[in-house]
Amino acid sequence: MPAQTLVQPRFATQRGDVGDGPPPSVLRFPDLGVKRLHESLRRTEAGAVDALHMMLRFAGSSPGDKSVRICVLAIELGERLGLPRAEIRDLEFSALLHDIGFVALPADLLRKHGVLTREERRQLQRHPELGEAVLAGIPGFERVGRIVGVHHERPDGGGYPHALRGQEIPLPARILSVAETFQAMMTDRSYRSRLPLREAIERLQAGAGSRYDQKVVGLLGQDPDRFERLLTDARMQLSEHELGPQPPRPEGEN
């Protein structure tokens, strides 16, 4: 059975404009070997992201399109905020892999409905660190790992695992945080249906500055319909592709 990679080349990195191209001095001597190797390197990195993301889907820890939708959202927010290309690439990868740590956690914990014990919550909250540990070993993924490691921090210091505050949290992580929350609010769950768009924006605005980065929330509030459409479009684009072998998945999300 053919395995389609889930992420199709439509994001910044694979459009060919990426932070780390050949250095200018080499471009003067158009050497196909060098160009091809740079291309291979980019594709290998993208492939590593795809493989890890596939592990996440196989583990049933994340409905197939959740991370991709967050990714599309995060990239849009990042571009609008004027992030440099290299950081957009980091943001893209970290958005796809931010939940990778869940693969390491017991499946029944992830599936549990109802109230979690303190120990269970503590276990689940290890997923950012676990994700960072996994990514730390890949050359070129240090910043990606860092973003994954802090994507549950909050500007007011009330997040985890390090209780970082404000600017201590890298901007891509603050963007990812808001994107994930918005996506969660706009998704049906087993215990509640998705929030109306206006309510989602209101909740985000209520937490601006404390739970969520003020600037990022402001950006969302300027054009909520467009961002909602981005989420829907991402979902529709994905259903056009074969998602590959899927094990039977239990109900519920993390």
Binding-site ranges for other proteins (CB under 8 A):
1, 3, 5, 22, 25-26, 28-29, 31, 33-34, 37-38, 40-41, 43-45, 47-48, 50-52, 54-55, 58-60, 100, 103-108, 130, 133-135, 137-141, 244-245, 247-248
Q: Give the nearer residue to other proteins in terms of CB position, either 40 or 210.
A: 40
Q: Give the nearer residue to other proteins in terms of CB position, either 114 or 139.
A: 139
Q: How far is the CB of 52 from other proteins (least distance, A)?
A: 6
Question: Are the CB atoms for 152 and 165 separated by under 8 Å?
Answer: no
What are the tokens at 121?
């919550």
Q: For residue 78, how many other CB atoms are within 10 A of its CB?
A: 26
- How far the first Cα of the chain sits from its last, in Å, is 29
Q: Which of 146, 142, 140 lies closest to 38, judged by CA?
A: 140
Q: Give the nearer residue to other proteins in terms of CB position, either 133 or 238.
A: 133
Q: How far is the CB of 140 from other proteins (least distance, A)?
A: 6
Q: How far is the CB of 94 from other proteins (least distance, A)?
A: 14
What are the tokens at 45?
């990195």
Q: How far is the CB of 71 from other proteins (least distance, A)?
A: 16
Q: Give the nearer residue to other proteins in terms of CB position, either 100 or 216.
A: 100
Q: Which of 123, 192, 125, 135 lies closest to 159, judged by CA?
A: 125
Q: How far is the CB of 37 from other proteins (least distance, A)?
A: 4
What are the tokens at 51?
């493989």
Query: What is the C-alpha to C-alpha distance for residues 73 and 34, in angstroms, rounded to an integer?
Result: 33
What are the tokens at 115?
């109230």
Q: Give the nearer residue to other proteins in terms of CB position, either 82 or 248.
A: 248
